[in-house]
Structure 1
Amino acid sequence: MANHTSISSDSLGSKGIIVAVTIIISWATLLVFLLNWELSWDNPLVYVAILLQMHLYTGLFITAHDAMHGVVAANKKVNHTLGWISAILFSYNFYWKLFPKHHEHHRYVATDKDPDYHPSGNFFIWYLSFIRQYVNIWQILLMAITFNILKLFLPTENLIIFWMVPAVLSTLQLFYFGTYLPHRGESDNKHHSHSQDKNHLWAFISCYFFGYHFEHHDSPGTPWWRLWKVKENNH
């Protein structure tokens, strides 16, 4: 396995900011369009749009995640602001609540102190445990209030299908590819993490390269869009 070093936010210049802002703007632009789109279940593009919006929701969370590692921007205020915005847009996740839990995951990976881990290995039990860790009553209340305000101006069906459903699907995407597959079963390497086989296109589509999970734990200072290079260096 080749040696490598984490890439600091200082060495990335403005690239991390550009990537983060692009994801945020793409999510918002597509959502505005879809909320005003005439919905027809006979149109196959509806299903494509749901999956695309799901993927952009996942991008929001991954952006917040990278901010927690300080690799979105060299300026700490800009870094955390973009992380906070990305998290709050994803169903009112609270960045500063996620922050310590994620670092606990890295510190205590696959142990009883890891908030992302469940020893049962059962997909459904583990997923429910994962959701309980990261969803709270305030998020549900804020989502309910926002939904009831928005439905005064926008079609209710569009709100459910393009705003709410993709967010739920994204939690499954994040959990399955970013937590369950990497950490299920026994793994005797130093990061207790499995990593998917090298396939950069699938790695991006499935979860923004977070299937390369050993690489992330081995190089947490590398932004998601550079993880493929870490994977290359490990082969």
Structure 2
Amino acid sequence: MVIFWGWLASLIGLLLAHPTQWSAPVVLLAVAGRTFLQTGLFIMGHDAMHRTLVPGRPALNDGLGRLALLLYAGLSFGRCRRQHLRHHRSPGSLRDPDFRLASGDGALRWYVRFMGNYLSFKQLALLLITWISAAALLIGLEPQRGLNVIAFWVLPLVLSSFQLFLFGTYLPHRSQGPAAADSHAVRSLEYSHLVSLLACYHFGYHWEHHAYPAVPWFRLPELRRRVSLDHG
């Protein structure tokens, strides 16, 4: 709920702000904060896909997941859940919607395919209509405020999509040779607790997530320590 209300309050506050009067570092900090909260919305939806957002209450869990993904990018909870569970069932295979299609695919082609499996033209149209409508309302109040939609709504979503792909898919699943391919190229990133949180809400601890998908994001560091002790 902190993520949800933080996202909503920061969006409203920054859309009504006057960033042209701010210094560049303040604007960049605001964009970075919005990006982090934007990614948090997807993480809420992701945990809802695994029924760990509100354990034991599937209707509330799925309802909050739908809301989180709708606000994130107009995404369909049902479609995202089906695709994501396919990813967990067949990581690294041709049936995996999150994996690269061929070994020669670079990061950019992989990213485009990754996004295409979750974002449809209908959802893109919904986003554009929402952004244009918001910008029109703000321009009616003051012309310069129309730029706030781009700076604090559109840009954070684009940056968030790169963040989720880079730290939640590309780096953990990137093949490093036969050994990685044999294990479906699932591995964890060796980040400290704070860096892991800032990078992508601990989803760089990706082996742990695949091995224990019912563990919510905020318990992945604890799980990682426990697993390391068990294998130490």
Shift of 1:147: 1.7
Taking every aligned residue pair, what percent have the same amino acid on both sides?
Answer: 36
1:61 and 2:42 aligned: yes
> Which structure 2 residues correspond to residues 1-16 of structure 1 after superposition, within 5 A?
none
Deviates more, 1:188-197 or 1:144-153: 188-197
Q: TM-score, normalised by structure 2?
A: 0.89
Alpha-carbon distance between aligned partners in 2 of 1:192 and 1:234, rounded to the nearest angstrom: 19
> Which structure 2 residues correspond to residues 51-200 of structure 1 after superposition, within 5 A?
51-73=32-54, 74-118=56-100, 119=102, 120-154=104-138, 155-185=145-175, 186=177, 187=180, 190=183, 192-200=185-193
RMSD: 1.4
Report the structure, 1 or 2, having the larger helix content.
Answer: 2
Alpha-carbon distance between aligned partners in 2 of 1:162 and 1:48, rounded to the nearest angstrom: 11
Indicate the residue corresponding to 2:16 in structure 1.
36
Alpha-carbon distance between aligned partners in 1 of 2:14 and 2:96, rounded to the nearest angstrom: 37
Spell out structure 1 runs of 4+ moving beyond 4 A: 188-191
Alpha-carbon distance between aligned partners in 1 of 2:44 and 2:68, rounded to the nearest angstrom: 6
Q: Kindly indicate whether the alpha-carbon contact (under 8 Å) linking 2:174 and 2:185 is maintained by their aligned counterparts in 1.
A: no
Structure 2's unaligned 5+ residue stretches are 139-144
Alpha-carbon distance between aligned partners in 2 of 1:37 and 1:203, rounded to the nearest angstrom: 31
Indicate the residue corresponding to 2:226 in structure 1.
233
Query: What code does the residue aligned with 2:84 have?
Result: H
Q: Kindly indicate whether the alpha-carbon contact (under 8 Å) linking 1:115 and 1:130 is maintained by their aligned counterparts in 2.
A: yes
Shift of 1:115: 0.2
Query: What code does the residue aligned with 1:175 have?
Result: F
Q: Kindly indicate whether the alpha-carbon contact (under 8 Å) linking 2:50 and 2:213 is maintained by their aligned counterparts in 1.
A: yes
1:191–1:224 distance in 2 versus 1, CA, 3 Å:
farther
User: May I ask how many residue pairs the two structures share in their alignment?
Assistant: 215
Alpha-carbon distance between aligned partners in 1 of 2:31 and 2:112, rounded to the nearest angstrom: 23
Q: TM-score, normalised by structure 1?
A: 0.88
Shift of 1:133: 1.1
Alpha-carbon distance between aligned partners in 2 of 1:196 and 1:43, rounded to the nearest angstrom: 32
Structure 1's unaligned 5+ residue stretches are 1-20
Alpha-carbon distance between aligned partners in 2 of 1:172 and 1:188, rounded to the nearest angstrom: 24
Alpha-carbon distance between aligned partners in 1 of 2:46 and 2:182, rounded to the nearest angstrom: 23
